[in-house]
Amino acid sequence: MLEVNGNKVESTKNVLSYFDGTVGKPTKITVSQNADGSNARTYTVYPSNGENRLRRANWAETNRKIVDKLSGGKLGYIFIEGYGPDGIYNAIRGLTGYADKADVIVDQRYNGGGITPDYLIEWMQRKPLYYYMFRGGEDIATPVNPAPPVKVMIINEYNGSAAETGAFMFKLGKVGAIVGKRTYGAGIGPYFFSPNLIDNGRVQLPNRAAYNPDGSTWGIENDGVHPDYDVEITPQNLMAGKDSQLEKAVEVGLAQIAKNPIVQPKRPAFPVHPFEQKTNTTGTLILPTPGSAFPTPEEKPQEDSITNGKFAAFLGQFDTPMGVVTFSQEGEKLIGLAGGERIELFPDTNAKDKFVAQTASVSVAFERDASDKIVAVTIVIPSGKELKGKKIK
């Protein structure tokens, strides 16, 4: 390190002295790999008042990568360092970001507590009840942001206070399996009265306690939360860089995925509403009786399908993601039929083998093989999504 905020760093002074009063402020440092200062580089950094949180964040990021690798991308990983604002926000980011995962590991090891995380427990219990479908974009589950179907929590002997009650609610609510070591059994703590001392110290008075409402026990007091899978990190594991608790959580999560797979929603068949209006002798529109069924539409004579017209090469059936699409010719028009919908198509004068609809933002492009036969089709729907299909008949 050569300079800090333009001040030359000298070996006779403690290097940390150059950073006095810079915590959280933009600070320019000039560094070089060479003692003579050649090839120097200047960076703007924001000094921290300690490196514990930085090391913890790096540890959590390493764990996330391990989980992703061991699970083949099936599991997400959330580390909650404490149940204060930062920890809660991190949990919210994780639950929303991993909504598409089959499983999420919630790691609260070394979490000393904070605010009871009842909101997060309710979130992790959230399941989709029904869905909204839109003309454009993906379907949305309601309630929004449901949690992955499988959750695994990791705890250890350093969890206390809100971290213990959080793990306890996780267990009582049957949110998922718990891996690790028993928490330290001190759910009691200060709540509304913590007197300050003249030396700025504070007395923490244990003025609350948790209990089971059936009158059986005082819950976690002097006992803690027991994991479903008791796993200890031995000194040998620690020296080898092996996190046996994290690996067990991945193992449990993968096993639970097979029992609790993601259920993909199924859309019902689209209704076909007849376009028919009736009026009385005065011209007033007559509405159907509430609750009555739609009248059966009268079959209207259609023009005979032409098989040898100018669009004969494009006629046939194509298998697409939205079902079988049939193309036929009526007069001077190419007609597309899919799911009860009928679209009239007209040639695109700017492209060969391409058609567009005048009443909807739909385009159709056909593909030919080496023998110049139509073998496939690409349909672009109003949302911009492309649907490809092969000719089957």
Banded model confidence at residue 288, pLDDT cuts 50, 70, 90: low
CA dist., res. 302 & res. 310, Å (int):
19
- Which pLDDT value is given to residue 203? 86
The residue-averaged pLDDT of 103-112 equals: 95
- For residue 249, which amino acid is it? A
Do 30 and 68 belong together in one domain? no
CA dist., res. 182 & res. 171, Å (int):
13
Please spell the DSSP secondary structure of 295-316, one letter per residue: PPPPPPP-PPPBSSSTTGGG-E
The residue-averaged pLDDT of 197-215 equals: 84
Judge whether 113 lies within some domain.
yes
Banded model confidence at residue 99, pLDDT cuts 50, 70, 90: confident
Do 358 and 251 belong together in one domain? no
The residue-averaged pLDDT of 39-54 equals: 92
Do 19 and 153 belong together in one domain? no
Judge whether 345 lies within some domain.
yes
Do 239 and 320 belong together in one domain? no
CA dist., res. 114 & res. 306, Å (int):
75
Q: Is the pLDDT of residue 209 over 80?
A: no
Do 18 and 75 belong together in one domain? no
Do 26 and 63 belong together in one domain? no
- Which pLDDT value is given to residue 279? 57
Do 248 and 381 belong together in one domain? no
Give me the CATH number covering residue 110.
3.90.226.10
- Which pLDDT value is given to residue 351? 85
Q: Which residue has the higher pLDDT, 270 or 121?
A: 121
| Secondary structure string (H, E, C) spanning 172-226 | HCCCCEEEECCCCCCCCCCCCCCCECCCCCECCCCCCCCCCCCCCCCCCCCCCCC
Q: Give the end-to-end CA distance of the chain in Å, rounded to a whole number.
A: 74
The residue-averaged pLDDT of 155-159 equals: 95
- Tokens 């333009």: give the residue: 6
Judge whether 301 lies within some domain.
no
- Which pLDDT value is given to residue 261? 84
Do 138 and 68 belong together in one domain? yes
Q: What is the share, in percent, of the chain residues with pLDDT greater than 70?
A: 90
pLDDT digits (tens, 9 = 90+) for 329-366: 887 788 888 877 888 888 888 888 898 887 667 889 99
Judge whether 382 lies within some domain.
yes
Counted domains in the chain: 3
Do 13 and 65 belong together in one domain? no
Q: Which residue has the higher pLDDT, 241 or 288?
A: 241
Residue 117 belongs to what domain range?
52-187+224-259
